Amino acid sequence: MKLSEKRIYEMIEKAEEAWARAYAPYSGFQVGASVLGGSGRVYGGCNVENSSFGLTLCAERSALASAVAAGETEIKAVVVFTDTAEPTVPCAACRGVLAEFNSQMIVVMAAKNGIQKRMNLSELLPDPFVLHSEDRKKNKQIK
């Protein structure tokens, strides 16, 4: 899938807005993200830290949750925005969660200084876990 530069810029702006609202009192590492839903809408999210570090919510999953809460199930792209010298890649947990929705999505990593890196999610997570349709049917029968 090809995204226009205008669309990518819009997504970066949304991610930067979310970045400014990140709750990162422990690490001081703010992250903003945005995802592009199948409807064409862009959803933002930020990291939300917790004193019990394992309960911290990453920006990518926050943006994805916003999209899903709005009824989106198709995700075309994600932007990760940080104020670092080099763009920051999504963590392994976020890669796995994003792959659930589209293992081929475009990933744009953008630093506040303007440096960008663009990849396909399959480059960052080449062999994602997939619960195949037969397994899903089987699991539904068990419940």
Q: Give me the count of residues in the chain.
A: 143
What was the pLDDT predicted at 87?
98
What was the pLDDT predicted at 139?
58
Confidence of residue 137 (pLDDT cuts 50, 70, 90): low
What was the pLDDT predicted at 133?
65
Q: What is the domain partition of the chain in residue ranges?
A: 5-142
Q: Catalytic pick from 10, 16, 17, 60?
A: 60
Q: What is the pLDDT of residues 73-126, one digit of tens each?
A: 999 999 999 999 999 999 999 999 999 999 999 999 999 999 999 999 999 999
Q: Is the dihedral of CA 19, 20, 25, 26 positive or negative?
A: positive
The yes-or-no answer on residue 5 being catalytic is no
The pTM of the full predicted model, rounded to 2 decimals, is: 0.90
What is the dotted CATH code of the domain comprising 5-142? 3.40.140.10
What was the pLDDT predicted at 143?
46
What was the pLDDT predicted at 131?
81
**Averaged pLDDT for residues 61-79:** 98
What was the pLDDT predicted at 33?
98
What was the pLDDT predicted at 2?
86
Q: What is the pLDDT of residues 22-44, one digit of tens each?
A: 999 999 999 999 999 999 999 99
